[in-house]
Amino acid sequence: MAAGSCLLLLLLPSLVTASHRPPGCKIRITSKGLDLVKQEGLRFVEQELQNITVSDLHGNQGQFQYNISQVKVTDLQLAFSDLNFQPQQHLVFNISNASISLRFRRQLLYWFFYDIGSINASADGVHIYTVLQLAKDEAGRLKISNMTCNASIARMHAGFSGTLRKVYEFLSTFIVTGMRFLLSQQICPSLEHASLVLLNSLLDTVPVRNYVDEHIGIDYSLLQDPSISTDTLDLNFKGMFFPRVREDQELENHAVEPVIKETERMVYVAFSEYFFDSAMHSYFQAGVLTIELQGEKVPKDLEVLLRATFFGTIFMLSPSVDAPLRLVLQVSAPPRCIIKPSGTSVSVSAFLNISLVPPDRPPVQLSSMAMETKLSAKVFLQGKALRVQLDLRRYGWGTMGAWRESPPHPTHNCFLLSRFRIYSKQSALESLALFSLQAPLKTLLQLTIMPIINERTKKGVQIPLPEGMDFTREVVTNHAGFLTVGADLLFSKGLREVIEKYRPVPTVTAYSSSQPAEPSLDPSSI
């Protein structure tokens, strides 16, 4: 028994670690962001309520028989509405003192008098209280998992026209009471369909696990249900890249967990070092961190530099001295990202192999040198794509640098210093000779190799936001082990536009049953 207790105590830390996986990406939506969502959501609710379908109403009271059909909402006034966070997983949408104007077709029979026409009615004091529960589904996607709704109508009035208007107004109690009941019963089902079906189809546009390019993909699945306080909604995403050749590969996350404390902007997105490390690890596993330049692709300045310095002696010793030159730059280990308050850098170790390639003969290797460099990194947003631009040049902004190259952009962050070192894998003498090549080779790599690398990463990776929602006024801020992007939001497309694009196609049966039947003009039918 004691041995079992000791074993449990030893396993407890590992069980806790396994149950809590730090997110590689975290998103916080603040109350200001929710206010923007409320404005667009209110327009969507108005459009949904205007499409309410009310069943035909028919009945009799003594000698008075009636049939009401073709009910149509003509106007909505939703003057007082609110959308709030409710801990722990809910959003509350409240509409009070709203009014709904209706128009419908009447068929009335009173003794021997038969009349048809239209009726204008209004429902006042409409109150709608809905609670949306948010959760992650089995695929790790954010969903509206449940909805509770309560709708009531305080009063309803109907206006009649025609020769029997006075009689109808006297007997309108039966019609108004029935219509009030039917209308109140249709509000919640309409909003439930709008939430659980239509809004969830909008959430389906958020990328969860998709391909970035032909080499890697990104996993944005939620790690747990959203966490909601009175002022914020926090979403923790796995934020892990994977190589497409091994999609089931999992890279363990040992990075610092992002912490978002700010609430001034509409939305904050945080990325840990793990997010960037997994991208570079995936590219390394995919075997694409290699660049080969041969013949005319080798920059002339670099070729002249190599032939005129230490390597000139090696070239002269080779019988293929006039053969084309081949340079192979290959990363030797997965690069690592380092994020500090001062900026972002990427540490890279690589091999540079220099060979002559005579026609119809095996290549002649001249030298193999190791390179260690710390690249400065600019992280910025372009649309909804997070992009990283790497650089070998030195930056000296503020008091930490000796000079200022250019003022920093408010949406960029840069590491202040970049480091570059080369040494020979073959001999100390050759390493000493390479010292004079270090500065010019660094410059040529900046002018030739870095553009190739940045072109490959030009597309960037999409941040998990629904279609039609974009960032504006972005600001990137560095912290110890992670960075945050604070921004405001705007709707480039309305909710209706996006939802209609992905609206499920109704079946023929569902479509035909939703159409109101044409009322009969035969008095005997009522």
283 contact partners, CB below 8 Å, separation of at least 6? 215, 216, 243, 289
> Could you give the percent of the chain with pLDDT greater than 90?
34
- Most confident region among 242-246, 325-329, 494-498 by mean pLDDT: 242-246
Length, in residues, of the chain: 526
Token representation of residue 283: 């590219």
Is the pLDDT at 402 greater than 50, yes or no? no
Q: What is the DSSP string of 482-501?
A: EEEEEEEEEESS-HHHHHHH
Token representation of residue 17: 């670690």
328-344 mean pLDDT: 91
Is the pLDDT at 427 greater than 80, yes or no? no
Structure confidence by residue, pLDDT tens digits, 51-96: 887 777 776 766 667 777 788 888 888 878 999 999 988 999 999 9
The mean pLDDT of the chain is 79
The three-state secondary structure class of 17 is helix
Better-scored residue on pLDDT, 480 or 182 = 480
Nearest 5°: phi and psi at 332?
-95, -15
115-133 mean pLDDT: 88
State the pLDDT at residue 68.
78
Q: How far apart are CA 34 and CA 83, in angstroms?
A: 7
Range from 40-44, 103-107, 252-256, 505-509 carrying the lowest mean pLDDT: 505-509
Structure confidence by residue, pLDDT tens digits, 11-46: 444 444 445 789 999 999 999 999 999 988 888 888
State the pLDDT at residue 480.
94
Is the pLDDT at 323 greater than 80, yes or no? no
Alpha helices in 206-299 (DSSP H): 273-285
15 contact partners, CB below 8 Å, separation of at least 6? none
Confidence class for position 289, pLDDT limits 50, 70, 90: confident
Closest CA to 421 of 361, 372, 459: 372
Is the pLDDT at 201 greater than 50, yes or no? yes
Which amino acid is present at 433? A
State the pLDDT at residue 522.
46
Is the pLDDT at 518 greater than 90, yes or no? no
234-247 mean pLDDT: 94
- Most confident region among 117-121, 310-314, 412-416, 418-422 by mean pLDDT: 117-121
393-403 mean pLDDT: 36
Report the b/e string of 321-332 with b at 16+ CB within 10 A: eebbbbbbbebe
Which amino acid is present at 382? Q
Enumerate domains of the chain plus CATH numbers. Answer: 31-204 (3.15.10.10), 209-393+418-488 (3.15.20.10)
Is the pLDDT at 405 greater than 50, yes or no? no
- Contact in structure between 415 and 395 (CB atoms under 8 Å): yes
Q: How far apart are CA 247 and CA 373, in angstroms?
A: 29
Is the pLDDT at 101 greater than 80, yes or no? yes
State the pLDDT at residue 65.
76
Structure confidence by residue, pLDDT tens digits, 428-461: 555 555 666 667 677 767 777 778 778 877 888 9
Is the pLDDT at 5 greater than 60, yes or no? no
Q: What pTM was estimated for this model as a whole?
A: 0.80
Token representation of residue 266: 């509409």
